[in-house]
């Protein structure tokens, strides 16, 4: 993931209005259109793409808020969370704790992270005895849409590898039980000779026995059995902010896997998914829904029930509304993640007309029609 400064790309300040952003975008997109740069089309294309990407994020208030806060947006997620989301079972919004039976699902993630760091690309060689930072962990939590109004505190239980205190993460008994690696004599590297068509070639490679450390464990730490870390269950409380959006990532520094040796602990990323009632649609801070009323209510007005984020409310519908008309209920949206200001709810009115009329209804309506001079059969 490359971290780009979208504001810089568009040449606008951090507090630029949507209008400023649009203007800057239009100007730049004209300037950098690849068709205008026949000589260096490639550069222009890169620039063009960059500008479009910056605009896509900054022109969307929700994405912009996320970018301002976390420095990345949506699926521009570091590979480590993506891996975790995949391991948690397909959808990134799958409930981490449900379905697969409690803690069972954790194994995959642990193995993926732990295995990943072990089978790294020779990073340990340069890390030497100083150790490595622990891997990050991603967990998914679900909250209700109504929780986004004030924010909510959630308790999360998960498993992580904890750096072993008994050996200070070294895996050696008391953290001191080492001996010089007999294979490399402490150099951490071995010379290998291979016979080829061109003659004998000598290559220096990392010592496979000690992994480049130059020393090996003499007696394993009994607490962690030489791993330097052990699994533990951890509970933490996390505050999900008001206005939280689907896919929002909250970072808890140092709550990930323990590092090895002197390495720091990794971080925990809590990925929020939001359960939205099926009849409500959230777009940014606004809520959209539909309600069906009887034609007589539409004509004469009525008190109707409308479902909102906080549950059903009574709404005084005035007479004379038209089918498809949208009514706005102020302040019944959800808060904006950045400003905290609540949006509105927009309700589309569907008007139901009767398919059959009773004899009496027919008589009365015919009278109404005659009275208004409307021709009916």
Q: Is 164 in the site for Zn ion (CB under 5 A)?
A: yes
Which tokens sit at 235?
């509970």
Residue 14 C-beta: closest distance to Zn ion, Å:
47
Tell me whether residue 72 or residue 114 sits nearer to Zn ion (CB atom): 114
Residue 204 C-beta: closest distance to Zn ion, Å:
12
Of 223, 234, 338, 348, which one interacts with Zn ion (CB under 5 A)?
223
Tell me whether residue 139 or residue 190 sits nearer to Zn ion (CB atom): 190
Residue 160 C-beta: closest distance to Zn ion, Å:
16
Residue 134 C-beta: closest distance to Zn ion, Å:
15
Give the Cα separation of 47 and 53 in Å (integer).
10
| 136 phi/psi in degrees, rounded to 5 | -80, 155
Residue 83 C-beta: closest distance to Zn ion, Å:
27
Residue 228 C-beta: closest distance to Zn ion, Å:
6
Q: Is 172 in the site for Zn ion (CB under 5 A)?
A: no
Tell me whether residue 69 or residue 223 sits nearer to Zn ion (CB atom): 223
Give the Cα separation of 152 and 35 in Å (integer).
51
With contacts defined by CB under 5 A, how many residues of the chain interact with Zn ion?
A: 12
Positions 291 through 320 that interact with Zn ion (CB under 5 A): none
How many degrees, rounded to 5, is the angle at CA 172 between CA 252 and CA 133?
25
Q: In angstroms, what CA-CA distances link 198 with 194, 195, 233?
A: 10, 8, 57
Tell me whether residue 58 or residue 207 sits nearer to Zn ion (CB atom): 207
* Bridge-based pairing state of the strands 249-252 and 268-275: antiparallel
Tell me whether residue 22 or residue 223 sits nearer to Zn ion (CB atom): 223
Of 51, 181, 250, 304, which one interacts with Zn ion (CB under 5 A)?
181
Stretch that binds Zn ion, among 148-156, 162-170, 278-286, 313-321 (CB under 5 A): 162-170
Tell me whether residue 167 or residue 244 sits nearer to Zn ion (CB atom): 167
Tell me whether residue 209 or residue 338 sits nearer to Zn ion (CB atom): 209
Using DSSP, state whether 125 is helix, strand or coil.
helix
The residues pairing with 292 across neighbouring beta strands, listed in sequence order, are 350
Using DSSP, state whether 188 is helix, strand or coil.
coil
Q: How many CA atoms lie within 13 A of 201 on its CB side?
A: 6
Residue 253 C-beta: closest distance to Zn ion, Å:
24
Tell me whether residue 186 or residue 241 sits nearer to Zn ion (CB atom): 186
Q: How many CA atoms lie within 13 A of 63 on its CB side?
A: 14
Q: How many CA atoms lie within 13 A of 236 on its CB side?
A: 21
Residue 193 C-beta: closest distance to Zn ion, Å:
17
Q: Is 12 in the site for Zn ion (CB under 5 A)?
A: no
* Bridge-based pairing state of the strands 152-163 and 229-240: antiparallel
How many degrees, rounded to 5, is the angle at CA 283 between CA 281 and CA 288?
40
Q: Is 166 in the site for Zn ion (CB under 5 A)?
A: yes
Give the Cα separation of 203 and 193 in Å (integer).
6
- Helix then strand then coil, % of the chain, to nearest 5: 30, 30, 40
Nearest CA to 93 out of 235, 275, 251 is that of 275
Of 58, 84, 167, 217, which one interacts with Zn ion (CB under 5 A)?
167
Positions 183 through 222 that interact with Zn ion (CB under 5 A): 183-184, 207, 209-210, 221
Binding positions for Zn ion, rule: CB under 5 A: 164, 166-167, 181, 183-184, 207, 209-210, 221, 223-224
């Amino acid at each position: 993931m490359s971290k780009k400064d979208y504001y810089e790309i568009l040449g606008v300040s951090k507090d630029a209005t949507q209008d400023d952003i649009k203007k800057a975008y239009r100007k730049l997109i004209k300037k950098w259109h690849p068709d205008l740069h026949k000589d260096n089309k490639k550069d222009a294309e890169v620039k063009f793409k960059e500008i479009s990407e910056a605009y896509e994020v900054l022109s969307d208030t929700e994405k912009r808020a996320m970018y301002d806060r976390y420095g990345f947006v949506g699926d521009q997620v570091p590979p480590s969370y993506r891996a975790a989301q995949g391991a948690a079972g397909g959808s990134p919004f799958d409930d981490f704790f449900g379905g697969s039976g409690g803690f069972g699902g954790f194994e995959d993630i642990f193995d993926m992270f732990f295995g990943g760091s072990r089978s790294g690309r020779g990073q340990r060689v340069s890390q030497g005895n100083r150790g490595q930072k622990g891997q990050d962990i991603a967990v998914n939590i679900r909250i209700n849409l109504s929780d986004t109004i004030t924010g909510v505190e959630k308790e999360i239980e998960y498993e992580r590898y904890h750096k072993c205190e008994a050996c200070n993460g070294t895996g050696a008994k008391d953290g001191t039980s080492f001996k010089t690696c007999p294979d490399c004599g402490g150099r951490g590297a071995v010379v290998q000779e291979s016979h080829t068509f061109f003659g004998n070639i000598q290559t220096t490679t990392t010592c496979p026995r000690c992994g480049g450390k130059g020393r090996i464990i003499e007696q394993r730490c009994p607490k962690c059995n030489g791993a330097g870390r052990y699994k533990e269950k951890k509970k933490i409380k996390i505050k999900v902010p008001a206005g939280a959006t689907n896919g929002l990532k909250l970072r808890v520094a140092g709550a990930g896997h323990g590092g090895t040796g002197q390495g720091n602990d990794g971080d925990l990323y809590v990925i929020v998914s939001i359960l939205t009632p099926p009849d409500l649609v959230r777009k940014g801070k606004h809520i959209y829904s539909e309600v069906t009323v009887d034609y007589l209510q539409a004509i004469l007005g009525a008190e109707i029930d409308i479902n909102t984020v906080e549950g059903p409310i009574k709404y005084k519908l005035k007479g004379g509304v038209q089918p498809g008309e949208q009514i706005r209920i102020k302040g019944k949206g959800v808060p904006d993640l950045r400003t905290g200001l609540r949006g509105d709810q927009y309700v589309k009115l569907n008007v139901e007309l009767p398919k059959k009329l009773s004899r009496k209804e027919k008589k009365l309506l015919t009278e109404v029609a005659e009275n208004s001079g409307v021709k009916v059969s």
